[in-house]
Amino acid sequence: MQTSVIGRIALFGLPALVVLLAPTPSGSAEPSERIIRIEASSFAYKPALIAVAQGDHITIELVATDVVHGLHVDGYDLSVTADPGQTQRLTFVADRQGTFRIRCSVPCGPLHPFMIGKLKVGTNWLLWRAVALALLAAMAGVVGFRQ
Amino acid sequence: MTRRDLTHFRLIKTVLHRRGPQFALTALALGGFVLAIVSGLAGTPVGSRNFGIVAVWIAWWAVLMLVAVPLFGRGWCSICPIPAPGDWLQRGALLQPATRGLGLGRRWPRATRNMWLQNAAFAVLALFSVVILTQPIVTAVVLLALLFLAVGASLIFERRAFCRYLCPVGGFVGLYSQLAPVELRVKDRAVCAADRQKSCYTGNAAGCGCPWLVYPGALEKNTYCGLCLECLRTCPHDNIAVNWRSVGADLLQPRGRRLDEAFKALIMLGSAIVYAAVMLGPWGTLKSAAYNIGSGTWLIYALGFLAFVFVVLPGAFLFTVHAGRKLARSAVPLRRAFVHFAYALIPLGLAAWVAFTLSFVFANLSYVWPVLSDPMGWGWDLVGTAGDSWTPYLTQVVPALQTGVLLGGLLWSGVTVRRIALEGRSQHPVFPLTLPVMAFCLVITLGLLGLLVG
């Protein structure tokens, strides 16, 4: 019984540890200057999905086309606010890999809490690690993690 | 499976036996409930500045899904303010056991003594949820409607018919309470069998008969025990225990698995997926469709939602269960296999709701502080926090937490799939039977990971 438990831990725990602790490769491409124009209106950002490379110098130009909107980048904890018809800029270096939510930071109407976009910086290793761990968890379930 | 009776601790037993602490918490919750209704009707229409929206859909929801349900199961039901006024009217007392109260005391119709009405009630609320969650006046109307429904049910039917058969929240709280590490059970069934009075069900001078229409002597699952503790007070043999136990113990109890509860598991899992896409996704068109009730796009959204949670997801699950039976050459009837394996989705469903709640709550929790100072949004500053600005919390940590919760849910569901398959191992090989169901759980988890952290 004890051997069996140790065997299961070795079978699933060790690969899980490898997935968790494996170093993530950093982006090899040269950082570039990126200027991204985002229109905010009717509880949505356009574009709603932004993909940049890790290390890129980003300037977000936020344009609010109906009411005052904000833009807060989760993970970076940076914010900018734009009045209707005006453009405001937010400049930063995208040095953290992953996918980060961008949210409106100014109450703009009923759907304000759900005004969300995504900033994808390089590869979302958290997601890929999660996918690998999910496969291991599913296998553990099928094979039997516990008796 | 180890259990530890918490009533062995004198302090805990005293607190649980007395009505005062439970009444105080219920009264506090009722005060907040009434304030939520008043602020919804008379306060600012700006949701993020209105006590009704912030207290109910951010603070209460966070406590319910991150603490109360995972740790205490139906612990919230024991202090829920919604049935309290009807309960007091029915009993004709606040703190004392039943005296000469009001009400017709009719029995609930036999045909609906199940979870289907709760399934339907939840689906209806979910259809309108984007509006309910954002419009204070709509939240107030919904809370008022629930209050009137609960009072009406108490005056017409016996005991807590609303909680048992109607409450849209109580349905899923009951489902997920099977995972909780707390349970109320009898200490010795022989004592119950020998007792002729059955005071726990009929009531006596010390307390009411079970308001949830449950005979504690036969209790095997948390699903319909509201933790009201009346049986703890009425039992003349001190035969009621409040146990600390292994998590998820009820899932391994094959007796009493039912189709309505199986569908509840699927409806909740499907709703978590839809909520994650609509409320936390980047698709403005989808949000607008869910918000603009009565429009053509809302109708499409509503039909899509209902089709997904009642047909597509259950249909896909039925197919995987069928595939497993075919692979294993199992003779277990399809309906029976569908119902039993659906219980393995309960951990994954709770994990999905916790992961959704983590993102939604931590992003919006800072709205709580201003409304404590200015619940109506009228410019007050009662405790000096009215000017606190919005600050999302733990944004660097939440995705990792969500990932951990979802993976934990998948692993737990996987273990449960296998344990359920092992129940009938004399009739079929376990491995091929579980393979498609685990694949289903894996696909759902990957979809949720994509929506929440992708």
Instruction: Say whether A37 sits in a helix, a strand or coil.
Output: strand
Query: Percent of chain B, pLDDT > 90?
Result: 95
- Asked if residue A54 lies in contact with residue A99, where contact means CB atoms within 8 angstroms, the answer is no
Band (A145; pLDDT cuts 50, 70, 90)? low
Q: Which range of residues forms the domain containing residue A15?
A: 2-24+128-143
Which two structure tokens, joined as six digits, stand for A108? 């703009």
Element (H, E) at B355: helix B345-364
- pLDDT for residue A52: 97
Q: Are residues A75 and A14 in the same domain?
A: no
Task: Please state the separation of Cα A19 from the chain's center in Å.
Answer: 19
The answer to whether residue B288 neighbours chain A at the CB level (below 8 Å) is yes
Average pLDDT over residues A107-131: 95
Report the sign of the C-alpha dihedral through residues B182, B184, B188, B189, in that order.
negative
Which two structure tokens, joined as six digits, stand for B288? 């607008």
> For residue A127, which residues of chain B lie inside 8 Å, CB to CB?
449-450, 453-454
From residue A122, how far is each of A2, A28, A53, B102 by CA, in Å? Answer: 43, 10, 5, 66
Q: Are residues A57 and A101 in the same domain?
A: yes
**Could you report how far apart the first and last alpha carbons of chain A are, in Å?**
9
- pLDDT for residue B45: 96
The torsion angle over the Cα atoms of residues A127, A133, A139 and A144, rounded to 10 degrees, is: -140
Which two structure tokens, joined as six digits, stand for B134? 């954002």
Answer yes or no: is the ipTM higher than 0.85: yes
| Block residue for tokens 């319910």 | B64
Q: Are residues A19 and A51 in the same domain?
A: no
> For residue B247, which residues of chain A lie inside 8 Å, CB to CB?
none
CB contact burial B334-371 (16+ within 10 A = b; e otherwise) = eeebbbbbbbbbbbbbbbbbbbbbbbbbbbbbbbbbbb
Domain count, chain A: 2
State the nearest Cα–Cα gap between B261 and chain A, in angstroms.
Answer: 23
Residues of A with CB under 8 A from a CB of B: 42-46, 48-49, 72, 74-75, 77, 98-101, 103, 105, 107, 110-118, 124, 126-127, 129-131, 133-135, 137-138, 140-142, 144-146
Choosing among A11, A12, A74, which should be mutated to test the B contact, i.e. which has the most B CBs within 10 A? Answer: A74
| CATH assignment at residue A43 | 2.60.40.420
**pLDDT tens by residue, A15-50:** 999 999 988 887 667 889 999 999 999 999 999 999
Residues ≥6 apart with Cβ < 8 Å to B425:
none
| Block residue for tokens 């968790």 | A20
Q: Are residues A51 and A115 in the same domain?
A: yes
- pLDDT for residue B273: 98
Average pLDDT over residues A118-133: 96
Instruction: Verify whether the Cβ–Cβ distance B282 to A99 is below 8 Å.
Output: no
Closest chain A CA to residue B49: A107
The answer to whether residue B319 neighbours chain A at the CB level (below 8 Å) is no
CA–CA separation, B153 vs A143, rounded Å? 48
Q: Cβ of B172: how many Cβ atoms within 10 Å?
A: 26
State the nearest Cα–Cα gap between A111 and chain B, in angstroms.
Answer: 6
Q: Are residues A108 and A37 in the same domain?
A: yes
Which two structure tokens, joined as six digits, stand for B129? 């949820």
**pLDDT tens by residue, A52-86:** 999 999 999 999 999 999 999 999 999 999 999 99
- pLDDT for residue A54: 94
The domain ranges of chain B are: 1-99+108-253, 258-453
Mean pLDDT, rounded, of chain B:
96
- Asked if residue B147 lies in contact with residue B88, where contact means CB atoms within 8 angstroms, the answer is no
Mean pLDDT, rounded, of chain A:
91
Q: Which residues of chain B have pLDDT under 50?
A: none
Q: Which of A60, A68, A4 is nearest to A34 (CA)?
A: A60
- pLDDT for residue B301: 98
Q: Are residues A97 and A73 in the same domain?
A: yes
User: What's chain A's length in residues?
Assistant: 147
**pLDDT tens by residue, B51-80:** 999 999 999 999 999 999 999 999 999 999
Instruction: Say whether B244 sits in a helix, a strand or coil.
Output: strand
Would the pLDDT of A2 be above 60? no
- pLDDT for residue A141: 80
Instruction: Verify whether the Cβ–Cβ distance B280 to A43 is below 8 Å.
Output: no
DSSP secondary structure letters along A49-118: EEEE-TT-EEEEEEEESSS-EEEEETTTTEEEEE-BT-EEEEEEE--S-EEEEEE--S--STTGGG-EEE
> For residue B438, which residues of chain A lie inside 8 Å, CB to CB?
138, 141-142
- Strands B203-204 and A33-41, sheet pairing: unpaired
Q: Cβ of A48: how many Cβ atoms within 10 Å?
A: 17
Which two structure tokens, joined as six digits, stand for A89? 């800029």
Residues ≥6 apart with Cβ < 8 Å to A65:
A39, A40, A41, A84, A85
> For residue A49, which residues of chain B lie inside 8 Å, CB to CB?
282
Q: Which of B390, B72, B399 is nearest to B247 (CA)?
A: B72
> For residue A77, which residues of chain B lie inside 8 Å, CB to CB?
392, 395-396
Q: Are residues A8 and A66 in the same domain?
A: no
CA–CA separation, B281 vs A102, rounded Å? 11
Q: Are residues A105 and A45 in the same domain?
A: yes
CA–CA separation, B279 vs A116, rounded Å? 8
- Asked if residue B356 lies in contact with residue B280, where contact means CB atoms within 8 angstroms, the answer is yes
Residues ≥6 apart with Cβ < 8 Å to B100:
B92
> For residue A100, which residues of chain B lie inside 8 Å, CB to CB?
395
CA-angle at B292, arms to B364 and A109, nearest 5°: 40
Q: Are residues A15 and A56 in the same domain?
A: no
Residue among B363, B435, B454 whose CB faces A103 most closely: B363
Q: Are residues A52 and A99 in the same domain?
A: yes
Reported as half-sphere exposure (CB side, CA atoms, 13 A), residue A7 has a value of 8
Task: Please state the separation of Cα A67 from the chain's center in Å.
Answer: 26
Band (A147; pLDDT cuts 50, 70, 90)? very low
Instruction: Verify whether the Cβ–Cβ distance B395 to A107 is below 8 Å.
Output: no
Residue among B47, B284, B446 whose CB faces A44 most closely: B284
Instruction: Verify whether the Cβ–Cβ distance B48 to A112 is below 8 Å.
Output: yes
CA–CA separation, B287 vs A43, rounded Å? 8
